[in-house]
Amino acid sequence: MIDVNLVNFEAEVIEASLRVPVLLDIWAEWCGPCKQLGPQLEQLEAELAGSFVLAKLDADKTPEIAGQLSQMFGVRSIPFCVLFKDGQPVDGFVGALPPEQLRAFLAKHLTVGEPQADAEAQAEVQPDAEPVQAADARSLLEQLADALAQNPGNDDLRFDYVKQLISHGQLAEAAAALAPAMGQIPLQLRFESLQQWLNALEFVSNDPRGRWSVEQFEQAISANKRDFDSRFAKSRLLIAHGDWQAAMEELLEIIMRDKKWADEAPRKTYVALLELLTPPKPKADPGAAGKSAGGIEIAAPVTQQQDPQAELVARYRRKLSMALN
């Protein structure tokens, strides 16, 4: 196990992962689950001697690196672990997983020095993959729910919890957990964005048109370009299918034709999607300026992978600005 920071991150994580996988454990002194997870990871590193290297990074002392990785994976919580192979972050998980789930996570990426299983044995393992992922999701939701119950005024926790509930289709639970935040004055944009996302999914679940195909909507729109009800319903269907870019294009068509339609619901939904697509900003460290003490840029591969997402959000912000002006 090695502690990493701005000075040695490039050598001990990026370069080291060219030789052996490196599991980066992002933690903080105040984080209770982090203190549960740490010893378990150290024990696994000892048991699987030489199969991977455990690196630990204090999020409070090195927010630049923690922030970049949080942006990449779209998470805000710790403990947060990222596996590096061949100089790149390839997988990760959030929360203090139980030992069996930690082993399952590592087994996907490591060769532990034991004889290779034959094809029949490997086939027997495959069906377990999805239940493990489902267990991971349940574990994360339970941890967030417990943390929020202990600290109901923590808006970051509430945002993460509601977002995870929506992502896993638990819409009624998400609406209940979101309600206290929607009563805030002023209302935070991130919570309004979650509400708009939730509105779209509830529409698809409850409205008869939620069972329409995209082609059915296109037929209705082709008959009347100003059929904004159909356009808006289509955008919600696209949101539910995860095609947010196509949804924003449909919303733009309404905005360009009638900016005030339905109390600006298309614009509000569009802004919500932009907000949800925008990664959280890392804490800035003016002294670091994105470089280590030796002048080496931090985690260049991670930064490069952020560019397409940043370009997408910037492009659609410009499109909205042009439609409104």
196 shares a domain with 59: no
Which residues are paired to 53 by β-bridges? Answer: 22
Does residue 22 surpass a pLDDT of 90?
A: yes
Question: Domain of 167?
Answer: 132-172
Q: What is the pLDDT of residue 183?
A: 92
- Is 122 contained in some domain? no
Q: In which region does residue 83 sit, left (phi positive, over 0), alpha (psi from -120 to 50) or beta (all else)?
A: beta
φ, ψ (nearest 5 deg) of residue 93: -155, 160
Cis before 79? omega within 30 = yes
Q: Which has the higher per-residue pLDDT, 140 or 230?
A: 230
Given the residues 23, 24, 31, 106, the one annotated as active site: 31
Over range 205-216, report the average pLDDT: 90
- Out of 143-152, 231-240, 280-289, least confident range: 280-289
Which residues are paired to 26 by β-bridges? Answer: 57, 80
Tell me: the pLDDT tens digits for 265-314?
999 999 999 998 886 665 444 444 444 333 333 333 433 344 467 788 88
Rounded distance, CA 96 to CA 27, Å?
11
For residue 150, how far is the Cα from the chain centroid? 23
- pLDDT, averaged across the chain: 82
195 shares a domain with 317: yes
Q: 81 an active-site residue?
A: no
Over range 92-117, report the average pLDDT: 73
Does residue 94 surpass a pLDDT of 60?
A: yes
- Is 255 contained in some domain? yes
Q: What is the pLDDT of residue 118?
A: 39
Does residue 33 surpass a pLDDT of 90?
A: no
φ, ψ (nearest 5 deg) of residue 148: -70, -35
Does residue 71 surpass a pLDDT of 90?
A: no
194 shares a domain with 147: no
Question: Percent of the chain at pLDDT above 70?
Answer: 82
Q: What is the pLDDT of residue 123?
A: 38
319 shares a domain with 185: yes
- Is 208 contained in some domain? yes
319 shares a domain with 182: yes
208 shares a domain with 313: yes
Q: Is the dihedral of CA 62, 64, 67, 69 positive or negative?
A: negative
* Tokens (6 digits) for 247: 């949804």
Q: What angle do CA 79, 272, 177 make, to 5 degrees?
A: 55
Q: What is the pLDDT of residue 117?
A: 39
CA distances from 321 to 65, 164, 177, 212 (A): 32, 30, 32, 31
φ, ψ (nearest 5 deg) of residue 179: -50, -45
Element (H, E) at 85: strand 80-85
Rounded distance, CA 234 to CA 241, Å?
11
Question: What is the β-pairing status of strands 80-85 and 88-94?
Answer: antiparallel
Which residues are paired to 283 by β-bridges? Answer: none
Tell me: the pLDDT tens digits for 55-70?
999 988 888 888 888 7
Rounded distance, CA 222 to CA 214, Å?
12
Q: What is the pLDDT of residue 96?
A: 83
Q: What is the pLDDT of residue 243?
A: 84
202 shares a domain with 236: yes
Q: What angle do CA 179, 185, 186 make, to 5 degrees?
A: 110
- Out of 80-94, 121-135, 174-188, least confident range: 121-135
Number of folded domains that form the chain: 3
283 shares a domain with 144: no
Computed on alpha carbons and rounded to an integer, the radius of gyration of the chain in Å comes to 22
156 shares a domain with 50: no
205 shares a domain with 218: yes
Which candidate, 21, 20, 132, 151, places its Cα nearest to that of 77?
A: 151
Does residue 218 surpass a pLDDT of 90?
A: yes
Burial tier of 193 (Cβ tally within 10 Å: 0-12, 13-18, 19+):
buried
Does residue 221 surpass a pLDDT of 80?
A: yes
272 shares a domain with 151: no
Q: Which pTM was predicted?
A: 0.55
Given the residues 6, 23, 24, 34, the one annotated as active site: 34
> Tokens 């024990």, residue?
43
Does residue 232 surpass a pLDDT of 70?
A: yes
Identify residue 142 by its one-letter amino acid code. Answer: E
198 shares a domain with 261: yes
